[in-house]
Amino acid sequence: MQTELSKTLGVEHAVFGFTPFPAVAAAISRAGGFGVLGAVRYTAPDDLKRDLDWIEAHVDAKPYGLDVVMPAKKVEGVTEADVEAMIPEGHRQFVRDTLAKYGVPELAEGEASGWRITGWMEQVARTQLDVAFDYPIRLLANALGSPPADIVDRAHDQDVLVAALAGSARHAVKHRDAGIDIVVAQGYEAGGHTGEIATMVLTPEVVDAVAPLPVLAAGGIGSGQQVAAALSLGAQGVWLGSMWLTVTEADLSSPAVTRKLLAAGSGDTVRSRALTGKPARQLRTEWTDAWDDPNGPGTLPMPLQGLLVAEALTRIQKYEVAPLLGTPVGQIVGRMTGERSVQAVFDDLTRGFEQAVDRINRIAGRSGT
């Protein structure tokens, strides 16, 4: 599963794996793919340094990258406290009422929320990059479009390629014009923040729009046959995220979440603003239903929604309140029916890819060539 891009980066397979878990990122690279560590949860630079040190020690000198979340533009002088003050009391009461309805216990006195939206703020992302650029990362990806111009320049000065996610050909062209090296065409099926165009439609549109810039296909890809389809559409690789949530190397904080993922079908996700304020595909739960109910207060824009629900989500996860418990994941969750290693995933991907190529060769009358 090699392409010009995978050869440029020195990887055996054109499979780029996004994951929040260092052990998974390292295993992806060791298996011949390209591991990309998600940095959004690292609000303390020392924590990111610790995990990059770990990857360096376990990646067997294979290439890897980092994914950050930072806007191309920022608002000066706005602090987290300023943003917190913008949250309406009615929305805070809705959170309290919903948690009380399901009997969700309070956190212990002095216990902090485990997840905060601060990882989405530019100043935090810049501290992450100050750490990351001391390591031999080969790729910097940004989930909120093109990163600021000075970050693109800084990456290029250090021979680091820059990737940005796009949900439309129009967004992809903006990335190209901003000096981005790789566009990730993220289809509607994908987990997390995603647009409204399906991967099968989006990928060739983006490929044509930014040619000859390399494009990675993302969204609803979890088999070798789908990898072959993506490459046949002109992509130079695939970007997989959801598939790694249930591998044995993953460190999901809640066994109950893993059980829900393994039991879910492809129709058990929803594209909701309940998590961050922007549409993000995730498991459908009674929590997402409450926020999407027209009788409710409705979600707030990013980053207000993320700040509003941060403590609530920590409580739901800590106490594993099953009706409310969810996680970002794509429609490919229907194929995630058992725990297996990263290497086993790659074995299945390569086997399925070979079968798909052989099938097309037979159809084209090229069998045995």
Q: Is the pLDDT of residue 241 over 70?
A: yes
The residue type of 10 is: G
The residue type of 150 is: D
Distance of CA 326 to the CA centre of its chain: 15
Q: How does residue 265 score in pLDDT terms, banded at 50, 70 and 90?
A: very high
CA distance 231 to 347: 18
In the prediction, which pLDDT does 144 show? Answer: 77
In the prediction, which pLDDT does 360 show? Answer: 93
Q: Is the pLDDT of residue 79 over 70?
A: no
Report, as an integer, the average pLDDT of 216-231.
97
In the prediction, which pLDDT does 125 show? Answer: 82
Q: How does residue 115 score in pLDDT terms, banded at 50, 70 and 90?
A: low
Quote the mean pLDDT of the chain. Answer: 92
- Contact in structure between 240 and 333 (CB atoms under 8 Å): no
**Where are the strands (E) in the chain, listed by range?**
15-19, 34-38, 64-68, 139-142, 161-166, 182-186, 192-193, 215-218, 237-240, 269-272, 280-283
Other beta carbons within 10 angstroms of residue 333's beta carbon come to: 28
Report, as an integer, the average pLDDT of 289-311.
92
Q: Is the pLDDT of residue 368 over 70?
A: no
Report, as an integer, the average pLDDT of 90-100.
97
Token pair for 6: 């995978």
Q: Is the pLDDT of residue 245 over 80?
A: yes
**Which 3 state secondary structure label does DSSP give 36?**
strand
pTM of the entire predicted model: 0.92
CA distance 212 to 165: 17
In the prediction, which pLDDT does 81 show? Answer: 76
In the prediction, which pLDDT does 77 show? Answer: 55
**pLDDT above 90 covers what percent of the chain?**
80
> How many degrees, rounded to 5, is the angle at CA 192 between CA 216 and CA 120?
100
CA distance between the termini of the chain: 17
**Where are the strands (E) in 264-367, listed by range?**
269-272, 280-283
Report, as an integer, the average pLDDT of 73-97.
81
Q: How does residue 31 score in pLDDT terms, banded at 50, 70 and 90?
A: very high
Distance of CA 72 to the CA centre of its chain: 18
In the prediction, which pLDDT does 74 show? Answer: 57
Other beta carbons within 10 angstroms of residue 76's beta carbon come to: 4
Q: How does residue 304 score in pLDDT terms, banded at 50, 70 and 90?
A: confident
Report, as an integer, the average pLDDT of 157-174.
96
Token pair for 95: 């959170």
Q: How does residue 76 score in pLDDT terms, banded at 50, 70 and 90?
A: low
Token pair for 29: 């690279």
Q: Is the pLDDT of residue 266 over 90?
A: yes
